[in-house]
């Protein structure tokens, strides 16, 4: 096995057993990046010098016999919308193409405290708006399972880096499925924690009431390990929850006996690729075999989730992205003759088409005369969606759905924006309700990974981790590696 | 000719005296070098988030209680969206549909007539930075620089009802409001530094009309004088339009202080659509009885209460009391001074007379006044006891201004003690009578005025120190 094929917990054991050094491991990852990055394009920026310096520090600590955290010396990648002091953070936008932050995001502070290695910043849809990574100013990321396919998005770089062996763990962010969907398209594990579990301080805001940072990893154990590092109350984020954070690795038990798994019927109906559905249904059977109780539930407002999301998220985005005006930082048009013109031209030229579309959409739905019909109504529907989940959880302990109705689709630009928006139907409601959701691999269609999503109650990451871990250990889909093939596999 | 009634409502922005900004821990101190009180939050850096400074809520409650408002327990913040280079996020965190205070009032007194001016609402928000133009303004300058030191400084916006009917009423309202904000220590109210800013909504309606006329909102009123002049100008401008059969258009105007007129900024059609929505980065703040009642219990004596006390307990005339209490520092000075004298009116006379004249002349406030209240009280006492004539008291006061010394010491140093010793005065009387036989003859011939001349001569000889009452009495006695 190559080092880059291993998980964080396996590599931690090797570091502690002095089988390898962190410098060796870090170099191995950069070699792998050199080898495949031309094909995959998972990264926007690499930071080899600092990564190796940090690795050497960890090695010194190990040599002295000092105790280190599980993630110490383990190289990971950070989605490029998470602020890293001194390291370019672009949000994959021309607007922030040369932007170097003056502060670290809270999660970065935590990960630094755990002495992890940051290999670089991973590619994404511009300002996290998209589910294909095609809207990146720095070029599309390609799916390591089939380089002609999208990696999903918006955390496409973070997921592809894991599948291609270009990082041991990565951070993504999830506003409407941006961790779970790419994790599913790349055969990875991706978890969006409960809203408020992880501080958003330093996560460049797309839609503040929906955004949440989470890990993308090779297996469930690594997901729990990264969660342990990044979760917890942060005084700099008012929406971060002041609740005790359990040791998530304690939830990793192989036992789902008596667990009630709810199948929301709306997620298995029209619009789901029948081959995807079939793989997910096989997973349901597996759970039954393992002793879980399967119950059918209903989330009746599911059909309104996407349209509601595409009102609320752009509305918040229209304000969140207003600060990019060329005045303080970021792209500035230098030909403008007035302050107003400078702002207009900087924004017109600095943002890509999808970002401009959503800003206009959000501006429209908040405008006087339209606010009640759109934004206000959407907020009410959001409450109904949240209630749907509350009711469903009266009957079950967690929900199981396909992560995406489809597998990774071709990079050919044939899908119109609306059709792509509609594919988020399985992930968006989870953000609307602020619930934790995890995607784990559960099969293949045409050689492309299929992911299933487990949705937990508020703050009950432990139950979905336990169910995910049990399935993973009983199946082993996570052990299949991406071929980096260019041809469609029939 | 139609008579018009002026209708005025004021919107006042008061910067709160919190140590740190509304949503970050940067200092709110005024006057630092540009962009030295800034951080990722108030600069609107990507990913930075606001966290509410609880002191802002505390101060808003305090102001609301002092202004007789209902305090609303459920509080949330909203984003007010507009683009301007001094606004680092291009939205302002404010309160839109759920302000912290509603339904307050201030009682004002204009020329002896009492009037209650309603306060519609008070809400919390953050201030913007400041543009520094290389030329006259943002459109004519080659470039402009931005100072974000002020960005994120907390404000309360106090919106009045359209209850004022004249510039004098508006002035009285603003003076009272300023005093209350100073007394409650929520704002330092320095209009010239912009810590208290005022916009006026002004409209006219024909006498007898039931609906208000179309209003103009006038911004940039940085002094009481500007407020009064702008209202007077607007009233004339609108009257002329109406009298010529025209219509006043709803618009925002700015006060041009140098030229003494208001200028159009933007019309209603060009007005911003602020696209308010709840600020998702902040959680709602729920107040409770314990919090509000503690603040109510801690409220200091307010101007109206103080005025009543000065009148009832110290016997000050209403006019004197109202002027003294309108300035918190003056009122505190007064209270301090009357601790050591029983002559409250004497202190008031000094404060409203020579002290105010001196402060105006020097262009300073009473907080910067060097004479200690106790020393002023001592001066009043010396006059009251007859040690100093009022003329000499002024001389001593002038010396006190040069360096804050006790008037008793100054009297001694300057040799100014009034001579009330009978023997000494008699000696002077006898001398003067001997020197001025003509005047004595005149007096005896019935010319009462002659005694004035003789008194004057004695005062001159004594260098003003002889007790004039005694001199007069002894002169009369001697000549009869």
Asked, for residue A28, whether it belongs to a domain, the answer is yes
Does residue B371 form part of some domain?
A: yes
Q: List pLDDT tens digits, range B192-248.
A: 889 999 999 999 999 999 999 999 999 989 999 999 999 999 999 999 999 999 999
DSSP structure class, residue B356: H
Residues of B in contact with A235 (CB under 8 A): 51
Q: Where are the alpha helices (DSSP H) in B46-114?
A: 54-66
Residue A366 inside a domain? The answer is no
Q: Encoding tokens for residue B166?
A: 């004249």
CATH code for the domain in which residue B428 is found: 1.10.10.410
Residue B212 lies in a domain: no
Evaluate whether residue A138 is within a structural domain.
yes
**Is A237 among the domain residues?**
yes
Q: What is the residue-averaged pLDDT of chain B?
A: 92
Q: Let me know if residue B14 belongs to a domain.
A: yes
Asked if residue A301 belongs to a domain, the reply is no
Q: State the Cα–Cα distance between residues A215 and A188, nearest whole angstrom.
A: 10
Please tell me whether the overall predicted TM-score, pTM, comes out greater than 0.80 for this model: yes
Q: Please check whether residue A315 lies inside any domain of the structure.
A: no
For residue B450, pLDDT over 90 is answered with no
Domain span holding position B311: 301-414
B35, B139: one domain = yes
CATH code, A31: 3.90.1300.10
What's the mean pLDDT in A407-425? 89
Beta strands A293-297 and A398-402, pairing class:
unpaired
CA distance B156 to chain A (A): 21
CB contact under 8 A, B85 and A327: yes
> Does residue A489 lie within any of the structural domains?
no
Band (B14; pLDDT cuts 50, 70, 90) = very high
Residue B477 has pLDDT above 90, yes or no: no
Mutate to test the interface with B, among A323, A329, A343 (most CBs of B within 10 A): A323
A197-211, B292-306, B379-393: the lowest-pLDDT one: B379-393
Is B459 part of a structural domain of the chain?
yes
In a domain, B250, yes or no: no
Model pLDDT for residues B390-414, shown as the tens digit of each residue? 888 998 999 999 987 888 888 888 8
Residue A486: per-residue pLDDT: 60
Residue-wise pLDDT tens digits, B15-64: 999 999 999 999 999 989 999 999 999 999 999 999 999 999 999 999 99
A69 is catalytic: no
Q: What is the mean pLDDT of residues B256-261?
A: 93
pLDDT digits (tens, 9 = 90+) for A192-216: 999 999 999 999 999 999 999 999 9
Reported as a pLDDT band with limits 50, 70 and 90, residue B452 is confident
Among this protein's residues, is A154 annotated catalytic?
A: yes
- The pLDDT tens digits for A463-475 are 999 999 999 999 9
- Could you tell me if B431 and B313 lie in one domain? no
Give the residue numbers spanning the domain of A66. 3-262+394-479
- pLDDT above 50 for A413: yes
Instruction: Tell me the mean pLDDT in the region A143-167.
Output: 97
Sheet holding B216-221, edge to edge: B70-71, B101-110, B113-126, B154-160, B4-15, B196-206, B216-221, B251-256, B261-267
Domain final position from B371, B389, B414: B414
Q: Compute CA distances A376 → A368, A382, B25, B211, whole Å.
A: 12, 10, 33, 32
Exposed/middle/buried for A424, CB within 10 Å: 0-12, 13-18, 19+?
buried
- Contact yes or no for A255/A462 (Cβ under 8 A): no
For residues B28 and B118, membership in a common domain is answered with yes
Residue of B40, B49, B53 for testing the chain A interface, max A β-carbons within 10 Å: B49
List the catalytic residue out of A93, A131, A154, A229: A154
Q: Which of these three, B357, B381, B414, is where a domain ends?
A: B414
List residues bridging with B79 in a β-sheet.
B93, B277
Provide the pLDDT confidence category of residue B80 given band limits of 50, 70 and 90.
very high
CB A109 within 8 A of CB A230: no
- Among B260-269, B297-306, B315-324, whose mean pLDDT is lowest? B260-269
Residue with tokens 């539930």: A297
Same domain, B450 and B362: no
**Do both B177 and B314 map to the same domain?**
no
**pLDDT of B136 strictly over 80:** no
Q: Does B336 lie in the same domain as B380?
A: yes
Phi/psi of residue A317, each to 5°? -65, -40
Same domain, B131 and B160: yes
Same domain, B189 and B316: no
Residue A249 reports pLDDT greater than 70: yes
The answer to whether residue A110 is domain-embedded is yes
Summarize pLDDT for B435-446 with one digit per residue, the tens: 888 888 888 888
How close B227 comes to chain A (CA, Å)?
30
Share of chain A above pLDDT 90, in %: 94
Q: Would you say A118 and A171 are in contact if contact means Cβ atoms under 8 Å apart?
A: no
Residue % of chain A over a pLDDT of 70: 99
Is residue B210 in some structural domain? no
Mean pLDDT of B77-99: 97
Contact between chains at B48 and A201 (C-beta distance less than 8 A): yes
Please check whether residue A310 is in contact with residue A323, taking contact to mean a CB–CB distance below 8 angstroms: no
User: Do B324 and B410 share a domain, yes or no?
Assistant: yes
Domain count within chain B: 3
The ipTM (two decimal places) reads 0.96
DSSP annotation of B329: H
Contact: A322, B81; criterion CB under 8 Å: yes
Q: Quick check: is B83 in a domain? A: yes
Does residue A277 carry a catalytic annotation?
no
Question: What is the pLDDT at residue A380?
Answer: 97
Looking at per-residue pLDDT, the higher value among B399 and A138 belongs to A138
Number of domains in chain A: 1
Chain A residues touching residue B273 (CB < 8 angstroms): 367-368
Q: Is the pLDDT of residue A320 over 60?
A: yes
Quickly tell me which residue has 């940090």 as its tokens: A54
Question: Could B273 and A367 be called an inter-chain contact, meaning their C-beta atoms sit closer than 8 Å?
Answer: yes
**Partner residue facing B46 (CB), from A96, A207, A363:** A96
Same domain, B430 and B404: no
The predicted model gives B467-477 an average pLDDT of 82
For an interface test with A, the pick among B46, B79, B94, B130 (most A C-beta atoms closer than 10 Å) comes out as: B46
Whether B81 and B19 share a structural domain: yes
| Alpha carbon of A108: minimum distance to chain B alpha carbons (Å) | 12
Q: State yes or no: pLDDT of A489 exceeds 70.
A: no
Mean pLDDT across A242-267: 97
Residues B287 and B314 in one domain: no
What is the rounded average pLDDT of the residues A254-282?
96
- Residue in B43, B48, B275 closest to A363 by CB: B275
């Amino acid at each position: 096995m190559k080092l880059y094929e291993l998980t964080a917990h396996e590599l931690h054991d090797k570091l502690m057993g002095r089988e390898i050094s962190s410098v060796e491991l870090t170099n191995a990852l950069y070699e792998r990046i050199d080898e495949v990055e031309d094909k995959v394009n998972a990264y926007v920026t690499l930071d080899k010098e600092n990564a190796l310096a940090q690795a050497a520090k960890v090695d010194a600590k190990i040599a002295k016999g000092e105790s280190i955290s599980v993630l110490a010396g383990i190289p990971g990648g950070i989605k490029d919308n998470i602020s890293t002091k001194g390291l370019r953070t672009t949000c994959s936008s021309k607007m922030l193409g040369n932007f170097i932050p003056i502060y670290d995001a809270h999660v970065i502070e935590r990960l630094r405290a755990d002495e992890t290695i940051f290999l670089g910043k991973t590619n994404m849809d511009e300002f996290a708006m998209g589910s294909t990574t095609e809207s990146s100013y720095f070029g599309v990321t390609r799916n390591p399972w089939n380089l002609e396919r999208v990696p999903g998005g918006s955390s496409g770089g973070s997921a592809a880096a894991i599948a291609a062996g270009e990082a041991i763990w990565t951070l993504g962010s999830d506003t409407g499925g941006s961790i779970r969907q790419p994790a599913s398209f790349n055969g990875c594990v991706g978890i969006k924690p409960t809203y408020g579990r992880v501080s958003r301080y330093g996560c460049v805001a797309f839609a503040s009431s929906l955004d949440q940072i989470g890990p993308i990893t090779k297996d469930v154990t690594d997901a729990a390990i990264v969660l342990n590092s990044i979760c917890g109350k942060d005084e700099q984020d008012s929406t971060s929850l002041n609740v005790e954070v359990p040791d998530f690795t304690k939830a990793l038990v192989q036992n789902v006996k008596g667990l009630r798994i709810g199948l929301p019927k709306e997620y298995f109906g029209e619009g789901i690729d029948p081959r995807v559905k079939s793989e997910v249904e096989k997973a349901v059977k597996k759970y039954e075999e393992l002793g879980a109780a399967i119950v059918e539930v209903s989330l009746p407002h599911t059909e309104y989730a996407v349209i509601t999301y595409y009102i609320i998220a752009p509305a918040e985005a229209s304000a969140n992205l207003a600060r990019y005006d060329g005045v303080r930082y970021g792209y500035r048009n230098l030909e403008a003759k007035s302050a107003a013109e400078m702002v207009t031209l900087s924004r017109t030229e600095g943002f890509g088409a999808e970002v401009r579309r959503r800003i206009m959409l959000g501006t429209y739905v908040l405008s006087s005369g339209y606010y009640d019909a759109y934004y206000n109504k959407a907020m009410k529907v959001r409450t109904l969606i949240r209630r749907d989940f509350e009711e469903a959880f009266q009957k079950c302990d967690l929900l199981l759905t396909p992560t995406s109705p489809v597998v990774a689709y071709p990079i050919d630009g044939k899908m119109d924006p609306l059709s792509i928006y509609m594919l988020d139907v399985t992930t968006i409601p989870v953000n609307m309700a602020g619930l934790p959701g995890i995607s784990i691999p559960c099969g293949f269609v045409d050689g492309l990974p299929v992911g299933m999503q487990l949705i937990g109650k508020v703050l009950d990451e432990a139950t979905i981790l336990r169910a995910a871990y049990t399935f993973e250990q009983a199946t082993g889909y996570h052990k299949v590696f991406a071929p980096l093939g260019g041809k469609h596999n029939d | 000719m139609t008579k018009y009634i002026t209708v005025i409502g004021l919107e006042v922005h008061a910067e709160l005296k919190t140590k740190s900004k509304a949503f970050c821990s940067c200092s709110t101190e005024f006057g630092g070098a540009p962009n030295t009180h800034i951080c990722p939050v108030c600069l609107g850096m990507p990913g930075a988030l606001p966290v509410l400074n609880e002191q802002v809520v505390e101060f808003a409650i305090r102001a609301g209680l002092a202004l007789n408002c209902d305090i609303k327990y459920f509080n949330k913040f909203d984003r007010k969206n507009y683009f301007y280079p001094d606004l680092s996020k291009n939205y302002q965190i404010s309160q839109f549909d759920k302000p912290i205070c509603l339904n307050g009032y201030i009682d004002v007194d204009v020329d002896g007539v009492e009037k209650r001016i309603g306060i519609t609402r008070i809400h919390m928000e953050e201030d913007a930075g400041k543009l520094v133009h290389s030329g006259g303004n943002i459109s004519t300058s080659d470039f402009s620089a931005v100072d974000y030191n002020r960005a994120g400084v907390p404000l309360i916006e106090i919106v009045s009802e359209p209850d004022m009917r004249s510039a004098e009423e508006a002035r009285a309202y603003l003076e009272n409001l300023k005093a209350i904000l100073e007394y409650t220590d929520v704002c330092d109210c320095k209009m010239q530094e912009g810590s208290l800013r005022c916009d006026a909504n002004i409209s006219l309606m024909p006498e007898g009309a039931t609906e208000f006329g179309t209003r103009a909102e006038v911004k940039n009123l940085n002094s009481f004088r500007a407020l009064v002049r702008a209202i007077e100008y607007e009233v004339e401008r609108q009257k002329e339009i109406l009298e010529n059969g025209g219509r006043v258009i709803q618009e925002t105007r700015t006060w041009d202080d140098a030229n003494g007129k208001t200028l159009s900024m933007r019309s209603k059609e060009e007005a911003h659509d602020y696209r308010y929505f709840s600020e998702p980065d902040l959680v709602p703040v729920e107040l409770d009885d314990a919090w509000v009642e503690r603040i109510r219990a801690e409220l200091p004596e307010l101007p109206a209460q103080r005025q009543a006390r000065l009148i009832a307990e110290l016997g000050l005339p209403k006019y004197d009391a109202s002027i003294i209490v309108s300035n918190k520092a003056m009122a505190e000075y007064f209270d301090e001074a009357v601790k050591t004298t029983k002559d409250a009116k004497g202190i008031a006379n000094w404060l409203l007379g020579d002290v105010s004249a001196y402060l105006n002349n020097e262009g300073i406030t009473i907080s910067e006044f060097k004479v200690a209240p106790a020393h002023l009280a001592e001066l009043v006492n010396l006059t009251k006891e007859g040690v100093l004539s009022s003329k000499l008291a002024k001389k001593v006061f002038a010396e006190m201004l040069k360096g804050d010394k006790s008037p008793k010491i100054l009297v001694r140093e300057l040799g100014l003690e009034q001579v009330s010793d009978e023997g000494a005065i008699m000696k002077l009387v006898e001398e003067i009578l001997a020197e001025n036989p003509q005047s004595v003859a005149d007096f005896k011939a019935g010319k009462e005025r002659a005694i004035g001349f003789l008194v004057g001569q004695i005062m001159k000889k004594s260098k003003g120190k002889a007790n004039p009452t005694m001199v007069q009495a002894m002169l009369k006695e001697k000549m009869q």
